[in-house]
Structure 1
Amino acid sequence: MELDAARAAEARELTAALAREYPAPDDEGFLRAARDRAAALPRQVVEGLARLRYDDGPPGAVVRGFPVADGELGPTPAHWRERAPEATLLHDYWLALLGSLAGEPFGWATLQDGRLFHDVLPIRGDEEAQTGHGSSALLEFHTEDAFHEHRCDHLLLLALRNHDRVPTTLASVRGVELSADDRDVLFARRFVVRPDAEHLRHMGAEAAAEFERPVAVFFGDRDDPAVRIDPPYMAALPGDREAAAALERLCAGLESRLSDVVLEPGDTLVVDNQRCVHGRAPFRARLDGTDRWLRKLTVTRDLRRSAGRRTGTASRVLRG
């Protein structure tokens, strides 16, 4: 889905109007009104993203063409703590509008100070990290926040800067060929998925221990399963060679189906986090203010599911 020049100008004006009307993109009043306000977007975008809410929808979509002026952004921050909020103000309103068509935005107390809108950018010292702040290491394919039962249904990535055309990698679990025996194993609670390094930095040992309980990799429809997988942070239960082999074959199948998506400034990738894995190719970070910079938003189909895990009744932030 691509905005032509006229539609792009209208989209920018809509976000500018929202910035005048609401105090911030994470304002609760705006977030509750966002889906209604998104009705003003092109029909192709509204209908295309609404389809993602259903089980038979596509595994992802790209909306291209929101205006991004590189010179107005300022340098890519050296750290997510250093971003100037006004630099991404209109982009965040745009991200929220698109996200509202797929679900309800939420965040994590253990990520980026509990903010709803996150920065994906390289950080000095994290070059080899299996997180959104790595660079020289391949970011292996994974389900976003796979360790948690209230992980997002959809993930949105909006490119602000990508001079080096660093690709995001994607693969759908649909079409991965597995034996009936492997499927049975993957539907069983024979695996452990642990929090990633970013969550662990702000999570106590007691909280992290909760995620040592066995879980299944597949769930839902046996003929069209959803998946939770994060190879660097998961394993079969100790001594369960059958489960380890089934997981290895699933990983090989997903690896063989990976494709590259290069996001240009203004492109927003929407990923079905239940049926699609994503990652990132390695790149050399210059750390000079010109590196790849994305904004990220996670959404859930039903915010009420996580009521007992959020920081407050009216909060959109999960404790982790």
Structure 2
Amino acid sequence: MTATALAPTFAPAAPATSDASADPRHRVLDLTLRDARSAYALAASCVEVYKAADDPGFLDEAPVIAHELPLTVRRHLNSARRDEATQVTVIRGNVVERAALGAIPGHGSEADTEASQVYDTLLVLYAALLGDITGRATQQPGRADWVGLFALGDEVRVPVLDGHWNAHPDDSLTDVVVPTGAVCFVDNRDVAHGRRSFRAGSDGADHRLRRVDVVRDLPRTRVD
């Protein structure tokens, strides 16, 4: 796969006054066109070498390669990693070519397509700046510190529940807007993320999320 094979387009950045930026605990970065292209090109070059985002060689190298991402991205995610008050961090305006992705597969086992690899790879590169990536098949007991989501379909709202709720969880529930082309990382130590019910559209491309789980300290997840 090459960067030109997907004929990339760019998801327009949402306005700075969107839901995600209303809460000071939710940090948002709107990529410039130049930075979006640079991040996409880096991910595409990784696909050329490693073919798949879950390639063990790529997962080993991702924390190093991630430092070739645009400086604005590295600063944004480093701030989220260091700031205990940040509950959600969002990167908007990434390259997405929905036509190349096609319709949503009927089963999760069919979701890993050739066209999806560049987005999975970019999500892993972003995640590598926050910690160590764990996959569902190999994840050890205990929940992830960060849950990362990449919206490749229509805008979605990710409900997050403040970790300090008690008898009235609805009072602590906030929807984080994740537009097409946005990556959202939820700090799973402080808040819990969920999903509301939704009605799928007729085009088969409205609700499409890619996910990655991240831990800050991989050795602590090891089973003795």
Normalising TM by the smaller chain, what interval?
Answer: 0.7 to 0.9
For the 8 Å contact 2:145–2:216, the answer to whether it is kept is yes
Q: Deviations over 1:137-177 (max 9, x none)?
A: xxxxxxxxxxx852111000000102xx441112333xx5x
Q: Deviations over 1:68-112 (max 9, x none)?
A: 011111101111112252121110111000110111111233xxx
- In the alignment, does 2:68 pair up with 1:153? no
- Identify the residue that residue 63 of structure 1 maps to in structure 2: 91
- In the alignment, does 2:86 pair up with 1:29? no
- Identify the residue that residue 169 of structure 1 maps to in structure 2: 159
Indicate the SS of the match to 2:197.
coil
**Where do 1:270-289 residues align within 5 Å?**
270-286=185-201, 289=204
- In the alignment, does 2:40 pair up with 1:12? yes
- Relative distance call for 1:23 and 1:105 in structure 2 (3 A) is same
- Post-superposition offset of 1:64: 0.7
Q: Deviations over 1:52-71 (max 9, x none)?
A: 33462411100111110111
- Identify the residue that residue 41 of structure 1 maps to in structure 2: 69
- Identify the residue that residue 223 of structure 1 maps to in structure 2: none
Q: How many pairs align? A: 196
- In the alignment, does 2:165 pair up with 1:258? no
Q: Report the TM-score when normalising by structure 1.
A: 0.56
- Identify the residue that residue 101 of structure 2 maps to in structure 1: 73
For 2:46, give the aligned amino acid. Answer: L
CA distance in 1, matches of 2:167, 2:45: 45
Q: Report the TM-score when normalising by structure 2.
A: 0.79
Indicate the SS of the match to 2:200.
coil
Q: Deviations over 1:279-306 (max 9, x none)?
A: 2232112476233010000011122122
- Post-superposition offset of 1:268: 0.6
For the 8 Å contact 2:38–2:70, the answer to whether it is kept is no
Question: Is the radius of gyration larger for structure 1 or structure 2?
Answer: 1
For 1:260, give the aligned amino acid. Answer: D
- In the alignment, does 2:128 pair up with 1:100? yes
Q: Where does the alignment leave 5 or more consecutive residues of structure 1 unmatched? A: 117-147, 177-248, 310-320
Indicate the SS of the match to 1:62.
strand
Indicate the SS of the match to 1:33.
helix
Structure 1 stretches of 4+ moved >4 Å: none
- Identify the residue that residue 222 of structure 2 maps to in structure 1: 307
Q: Where does the alignment leave 5 or more consecutive residues of structure 2 unmatched? A: 1-28
For the 8 Å contact 2:102–2:205, the answer to whether it is kept is no
- Post-superposition offset of 1:260: 1.7
For the 8 Å contact 1:63–1:269, the answer to whether it is kept is yes
The alignment-based identity, stated in percent, is 35
For the 8 Å contact 1:171–1:278, the answer to whether it is kept is yes
CA distance in 1, matches of 2:129, 2:39: 15
- Identify the residue that residue 127 of structure 1 maps to in structure 2: none
Indicate the SS of the match to 1:308.
coil
- Identify the residue that residue 142 of structure 1 maps to in structure 2: none
